[in-house]
Structure formats: structure tokens, C-alpha cells
Amino acid sequence: MILVTGGAGFVGSNLIAGLEERGHRGIAVCDRLGDGDRWRNLAKRAVGTVFAPERLTGFLDEAGAAIEAVFHIGFDDDGTDVDRMLEANYHTAAELWAWCAGNGVRFFYASTAETYGDGSAGFDDDIGEATLARLAPLTARGWTRHMFDRAVARTIAAGSRRPPQWAGLKLFDAYGPNEYHEDAPSLPLMLWRGTTPPGLDPEVRRDFVWIGDCVAAMLWTLDNPEVSGLFNVGTGQSTRIADIAATIGAAAGRKIEVPTGHASPAARARFGHSTEARIGRLRDAGFDSAFLSVEEGVERYVRDFLSRGDPYL
């Protein structure tokens, strides 16, 4: 059995679809569904069970040896409740790390490029304590995930107990199906919807990565139990926000403008600086799959999902 926390969210539901395509069945999902459409992200999946985060400890006690791997994606999609983010991204992550270490279970978790802040300290995915200490996240999600990255770094440096395999995946600007419920979805989806926040600099360059490529990297870590570490997951190539708008417009058959005006602090923190993943460590570890270009990824997103009556994976 594989346990996926945050399995009803954007990244988690795409991961579950990838696991099912590989033949995994009966996946356990820990997440909150709420009163919106998050349940639709799981409607096509043959999951074994879905339970709330409050039941996680009891589930671990009951399932025990049946769990072969844990993917901690988290459950903080609303991006506004910092206490909830802290609980999911730090405290629950630490609980799962300790449980996996004590039970010999492999552990994988989602981090984020938001841990890099404005990028002035670079985008080096070194797990060293000194490297991580230089980073200054600008968002609560970035800060809470950075806290756990640093906790892992301290554990590794101290030689303390750890899972038999562990991997943290720092996802850059992921986009793709099943993000529709999010209050702050990817920039490509906001451009498609016409809900992009004003004041973005069209010359800012971001590393936009197709969600299927993120899933491929996660499944690769599962396939390679000898690989552990902290890894950036991005294309390694940045694209101007203006070019993203043009690409979405070409795929949609209409002109899409990047709105001007005064940018909110949240918009500046999220999109106000350039990003570009350094993926040398991921490549050196053996991941050799190609990433889709922005043009290929956006075309697939629009053709196979956004332009259809049923846009869900």
C-alpha cells in the first residue's frame, strides 16, 4: 500500500493517477475534501480509502506493515491559513519522517521553489545547513516547507535516524489538470481564465513545469530506492510571463494580455521575481527524462483538458 497525503489536491491527484497507471491499486489518501470540488480530482481513481488528516496517526497504527511508501504532498491548498500550513508542511511531515524511520518505510515529500524567496541566494538544491540558512522565503507556504527542509538537513548532518530512502522534491511553477479548485492556481490557468492579478511584470522569467513531468520525477525516485536527497524539479529553462500569455493565447485562439496596474504584496511575492531550476543534482542522480517545453505543455493542457467539457485527469 502507498499512502499519499494531500491526495485530493493538484499535485497529489496527479501523482495518484501516475501510480495507478503503473499498476498500483488501493492507494490510501489522507486529505480534506471540504464542500467544494476537490472530490472531483479523485473521482476517476480507484483509491482504497480517503480519510481526514485528524485520523492520520490512527491510520498509521492500524495499517502498519502494509504501508510500503509514503508520499507527503500535504493539504494546504488554500494558501491563507498559516497554522494549517505549519501543521501540514512541518509538524505532520516531521511525524511521518519519524514514523517511516522507525518502521523502515520509504518517505517522499513535496517542497517548493517558494523556499528560494526572491532568488537572490540562487536556486541550489544543496541539502547543506549553511546553504538552506541563506534562503529567505517570501510566502507562508515557502517558509513552512523550508522549515522542514532545514529539519531534514539537521537530521542528516547529525547522522540521526532516517527512513531507508527519502527524497524532497522542490517543485517550481507546476501547471496542469486538477488545479481548478485552488484559490491561487498556476499562472497559465489564471491567464486562461482571465483572473491574473494586476501589476505583474511581463518581462519576469519563471520556470514553468508540466505537472506530468513532476510526477515522472516522483515515480523515478520510487523506482530507485538507492537515491535519497533534496532535488529541484523544474525544466531548467525560464520563460517570460509575456511569452506564457502569448502561448496560452495562441492555444486558446484569443489575445491574452498581462494586466497592468498595482501588484498586491501576495502577487509580488509569488510572481515578482524570476526563477530557473538548477537540475544538475537530479540529472546526476540518474533522472534522464526530458521535460516538456512550455509550448508543448500548454498545448497539451488546453487541448486535452481546458477545452473539454470534463477537464479532470
Domain range summary for the chain, segments of one domain joined by +: 2-306
Average pLDDT over residues 122-149: 95
How distant, in Å, are the alpha carbons of 51, 62, 64, 94, 283 from that of 58? 11, 6, 10, 16, 38
| 57 pLDDT above the threshold of 70 | yes
Look at residue 64 in the predicted model and tell me its pLDDT. Answer: 86
pLDDT-derived band of residue 36, with 50, 70 and 90 as boundaries?
A: confident
Mean pLDDT of the chain: 94
pTM value?
0.95
Average pLDDT over residues 177-199: 91
Average pLDDT over residues 203-227: 97
| 76 pLDDT above the threshold of 80 | no
Homologous superfamily, domain 2-306: NAD(P)-binding Rossmann-like Domain (3.40.50.720)
Among 106, 101, 105, 72, CA closest to 89? 72
| Per-residue model confidence as pLDDT tens digits over 11-22 | 999 999 999 999
Which of 71-80, 98-107, 281-290 is least confident?
A: 71-80
Q: Is 17 left (phi over 0), alpha (psi -120 to 50) or beta?
A: alpha
